[in-house]
Amino acid sequence: MNITALEKTALSVRALSIDAIQKANSGHPGLPLGAAELGAILYGELLRHDPSDPAWADRDRFILSAGHGSMFLYSLLHLSGYRDITLDDIKSFRQIGSRAAGHPEYGMAAGIEATSGPLGQGISMAVGFAVAETMLAARFNTGAHKIVDHYTYVLAGDGCLMEGVSAEASSFAGHQGLGKLIVFYDSNKITIDGSTDLAFTEDAAKRYEAYGWQILRGSMYDFGEIAELTARAKAESGKPSLVILTSIIGKGAPNKQNTAGIHGAPLGDEEVAAARAHLGIPGDFYIAPEARDYFRAKQAEWKKIRADWQALFDAWSRENPEKRREWDQFHSGRAVPAALPSYRAGEKIATRSAGNKALTAVAEANANIVGGAADLKSPNAVGLPAEAGTWTKQNRAGRYIHFGIREFAMAAICNGISLHGGFRPFCATFMVFSDYLRPALRLSALMKQPVIYVLTHDSVFVGEDGPTHQPIEHLASLRIMPDLRTLRPADAEETAEAWAMAMERGSGPTALILSRQNLTVFPKADPNWKQNLRVGAYIVRQTGDGTPDAVIIATGSEVGLALEAAEKAGDKKLRVVSMISKELFESQPAGVRNAIVPPGTRAIVCEAGVHSGWERWAKPEDILSIDRFGESGPAAKTAEHLGFTADALLKIISR
């Protein structure tokens, strides 16, 4: 270990971070200055990676959970040879067009493994990375060739451990014995408001010990000790490790270090000058020659390590051609089309149950479908085929995951599984509890990860569970999230196609909104409805030639209600449209939209939720909606009490 080179690397991280943040007049210098030594040894000695091939499948992963300290990551990516982060990017930190964004953003540059910044989600996604590693290893490693064998490292701070999602995910990780997950805890005891003693005096080590983690302690500034602690963490294969490193926030800024003032603000001209004098930094955006030389030599070593793995992988491929074909399929990003179930008109089945049949078919065709529910496997109807097995400490090849009652962590873990590569994850809960997981769903959309969210019990027709479990505003809130596709199928046939649509989507998450109650499979007037469904809406009931008197737009279970009302309307020429995805339909060209909902024709909307968002299609008096919380009672009586019936819709039609 070249201690001098590591010291110069830490100095360079501090220099680049000071100047980038000062030039931007924005940023968080406390972490990169306080943890520079960890960064130096992590990227120089501990990580198994190759900047010349940043997508190498068996690389170690590093997640900066404390994403506000992003200059820590950008400095080290640049120093170690990742070409995407240039010195010009660092000089334009936090500016439009720079890959060195305010917080690390997945897809902006190679070496950024996840979008982080919302505290607690980075460490939680890292749990998903570790889960995926175990799954790949169990499926593809052989006695002769261990082609999957890497670690997931995390740098987390006090804020990450305060956020509840990290508790959920860490509890899960300890229970599941994820021994290849190593979290470095930057314990500097300072947050934005001041000392952590203001709000955080618990013994985090004891908490994590109770979760089932190995606890290790040391100094952020002792290279030998960090190396020894990491070796001990790697030696403990049955538990994740929390390595608590005592640090000084903003170390090297002589007048501001160890204060709240350095957490999230530039140093200022006077303190920049003082820090440079104190640290021996000779000028702007300084990189020590010793650090440059060190990483140049390291790059050759890393290429050799990756080339050795490639030779191992090639030998494995020759001896295991079937496994290699499956490996390629897992990593292709493309789904294998499934033989979806079929139904007859008149059958009655809840779309959650139809969803399970579709999921079973999809999972049989795609062995890399993995996931589970937040302790709702049966109510959500998301069981996988028996041969898929359950993922546990004893069976890492299992595909169904029991996440426990941890909606937020469940979604974050699925993001990590997706980001890792090789798997297509899904997760499930009651739709009303999408509120619990929404911040992770937002990151799914922001990172364009094709995670599938199965959200059942989708309306007041949940019934007796009452208003706490009856979604009202949730459909509207999901639809407004950019890059999330929300699909609310109206019967079992649409549900099968909705699963196919979700699998066809390679970029961005999909939410499948499914019913608890049975819905009748209805005949479709459009012979090409399966194709046209993919524009977001299609014609269920046609009125013959000519323009209809009105178009009834409905979603989910309300399509059946609309068909009932249309039949009662007698001579009126009524077209019924099933709009499985409002936002998808609204994104279509005008010609497509106009063919289904003719301009100038009266439109009536029927949906068991708030009216918000439907004003584009109908006048307020032509929207049958529910703009209040529900009631506890049997489903039909609850709907009647709320005035949400076919007769109520008929009254609107008859105006």
Residue-wise pLDDT for 368-395, tens only, equals 999 999 999 999 999 999 999 999 999 9
pLDDT at 547: 87
Q: Give, as one character, the DSSP assignment of residue 100.
A: S
CA-to-CA dists, residue 293 to 90, 200, 222, angstroms: 20, 42, 22
pLDDT at 339: 98
**330 in any annotated domain:** no
Q: What is the pLDDT of residues 406-440, one digit of tens each?
A: 999 999 999 999 999 999 999 999 999 999 999 99
For residues 113 and 132, what is the distance between their CA atoms, to the nearest angstrom? 14
**255 in any annotated domain:** yes
Residues making up the chain, counted from first to last:
655
Torsion, Cα 20 24 27 28, to 10 degrees, reads 30
What value does the mean pLDDT take over residues 581-599? 97
147 and 232 in a single domain? The answer is yes
**415 in any annotated domain:** yes
pLDDT, averaged across the chain: 97
Percent of the chain with pLDDT over 70: 100
Task: Give me the residues paired with residue 62 across strands.
Answer: 153
**405 in any annotated domain:** yes
Per-position b or e across 544-576, b if 16+ CB within 10 A of its CB: eeeebebbbbbbbbbbbbbbbbbeebeeeebbb
For residues 429 and 431, what is the distance between their CA atoms, to the nearest angstrom? 6
Q: What is the pLDDT of residues 108-119, one digit of tens each?
A: 999 999 999 999
**356 in any annotated domain:** yes
Residue whose token pair is 């090849």: 397
For residues 539 and 527, what is the distance between their CA atoms, to the nearest angstrom? 10
pLDDT at 543: 85
Q: Which two tokens stand for residue 620?
A: 């307020």
Please give the full DSSP string across 506-540, using - where no structure is assigned: -SS-EEEE--SSEEE----S-TTHHHHGGGT-EEE
298 and 426 in a single domain? The answer is no
Residue span of the structural domain in which 243 resides: 3-303
Domain end (from 520, 548, 576): 520
Confidence of residue 533 (pLDDT cuts 50, 70, 90): very high
What value does the mean pLDDT take over residues 351-359? 98
**Percent helix, strand and coil across the chain, each to the nearest 5:** 45, 15, 40
pLDDT at 337: 97
Which residue type sits at 496? Answer: A
574 and 634 in a single domain? The answer is yes
For residues 118 and 440, what is the distance between their CA atoms, to the nearest angstrom? 9
Phi, psi of 611, deg, nearest 5: -80, -15
The answer to whether the CB of 534 falls within 8 A of the CB of 540 is no
180 and 234 in a single domain? The answer is yes
pLDDT at 210: 98
Q: Does the pLDDT of residue 184 top 90, yes or no?
A: yes
**341 in any annotated domain:** no
278 and 381 in a single domain? The answer is no
Provide the sign of the torsion angle of the four alpha carbons 323, 325, 328, 329, taken in this order: negative
Q: Does the pLDDT of residue 655 top 90, yes or no?
A: no
For residues 541 and 457, what is the distance between their CA atoms, to the nearest angstrom? 26
Other Cβ atoms closer than 10 A to 245: 24
**473 in any annotated domain:** yes
Q: Which CATH number is 205's domain given?
A: 3.40.50.970
Radius of gyration from C-alpha coordinates of the chain: 27
Phi, psi of 541, deg, nearest 5: -125, 125
The structural domain count of the chain equals 3
Beta strands at 214-219 and 194-195: parallel, antiparallel or unpaired: unpaired
For residue 135, which of 333, 393, 318, 359 has the smallest C-alpha distance?
Answer: 393
Walk across the sheet containing 538-541 and list its strands. 538-541, 574-578, 550-554, 602-606, 623-624
pLDDT at 545: 80
What value does the mean pLDDT take over residues 13-19? 98
For residue 2, which of 189, 227, 314 has the smallest C-alpha distance?
Answer: 227
Q: Does the pLDDT of residue 260 top 80, yes or no?
A: yes
234 and 365 in a single domain? The answer is no
For residues 341 and 497, what is the distance between their CA atoms, to the nearest angstrom? 10
124 and 7 in a single domain? The answer is yes
CA-to-CA dists, residue 269 to 19, 23, 26, 248, angstroms: 10, 10, 13, 21
Three-state secondary structure string covering 192-231: CCEEHHHCCCCCHHHHHHHHCCEEEEEECCCHHHHHHHHH
279 and 416 in a single domain? The answer is no
pLDDT at 576: 98
For Cα atoms 421, 229, 74, give the angle at the middle one, nearest 5 degrees.
Answer: 50
240 and 135 in a single domain? The answer is yes
CA-to-CA dists, residue 32 to 26, 162, 186, angstroms: 14, 20, 11
588 and 439 in a single domain? The answer is no
What value does the mean pLDDT take over residues 222-226? 98
Q: Which two tokens stand for residue 300?
A: 């050759």
What value does the mean pLDDT take over residues 314-343? 98
Q: Does the pLDDT of residue 544 top 90, yes or no?
A: no
CA atoms within 13 A on the CB side of 442: 13
368 and 516 in a single domain? The answer is yes
pLDDT at 546: 82
Phi, psi of 169, deg, nearest 5: -70, -40
For residues 525 and 519, what is the distance between their CA atoms, to the nearest angstrom? 18
Q: Is 148 helix (H, G, I), strand (E, B) or coil?
A: coil
Q: Which two tokens stand for residue 159?
A: 């804020």
277 and 421 in a single domain? The answer is no
Domain end (from 520, 555, 586): 520
For residues 25 and 31, what is the distance between their CA atoms, to the nearest angstrom? 16
Q: What is the pLDDT of residues 38-89, one digit of tens each?
A: 999 999 999 999 999 999 999 999 999 999 999 999 999 999 999 999 999 9
Catalytic positions are 407
Q: Is 605 helix (H, G, I), strand (E, B) or coil?
A: strand
**38 in any annotated domain:** yes
Domain end (from 272, 303, 334): 303
